[in-house]
Amino acid sequence: MRPLVLAAAVALLTATAPASTVQSQDGDIMQYVINNPRVESWQVIGVTRPPRPQRSEGVLGERAVRVAARRSAQPWDTAAQMTIPGAINRGDTILLAVWARVETPPPGRTTTDLPLRVQQATAPYAAIAQETAEVGPEWKLVYASGVAQADYPAGASNLAVHLATADHTVDLGPALLLNFGQNYDAARLPRNER
């Protein structure tokens, strides 16, 4: 499944690969994308000055946002979010794939943990999918997946990376959300490596 996510992202982020050429065992993978994965879509909350996308070698699209966060009692006090313009229905299997790396790790560590969520966009912010991924100084594709337990109309959900888990600086690249619909075998989805 990892090649499928990468193929979809490449098609979205490069002008030379039309979506119609991205094929897989699931057919045209682009039909499953329900967000705008580009780095410019990140909205960062809990910072004095929202970061702007900047050049970053080694990540798909060569652009990222850099967020310096401080540890807080609530991990969402500093967070990067993207609106999901597509709908998610009860029983849909979804996969979030985010390119991430740690620029400055927490004191005494070489990696950091990032909680990834697809969630209801308003209170009570119910999780549709969530996972914590460990990232180091090299770019890494990290995931969260799940099966929706309720209906979320277009625009009623978002994806988020909670950043107030440590004193660290994190770079975020593109984030891709795929909705595989009903009765999809979740065992086929990629998992985070530790």
Residues 6+ apart with CB under 8 A from 149: 90, 126, 128
Looking at the DSSP bridge assignments, the partners of residue 152 are: 88
pLDDT by residue (tens digit) across 21-75?
Answer: 333 444 577 889 999 999 999 999 999 998 999 999 999 999 999 999 999 999 9
129-175 pLDDT, tens digit each = 999 999 999 999 999 999 999 999 999 999 999 999 999 999 999 99
Contact 105, 114 (CB under 8 A): no
**Per-position b or e across 160-191, b if 16+ CB within 10 A of its CB:** bbbbbbbebbbbbbbbbbbbbeeebeeeebbe
The token pair that represents 164 in the structure block:
């107030």
What's this model's pTM, rounded to 2 decimal places? Answer: 0.87
Of 157, 161, 171, 163, give the one whose Cα is nearest residue 35.
Answer: 157
Q: Which two tokens stand for residue 91?
A: 């029983």
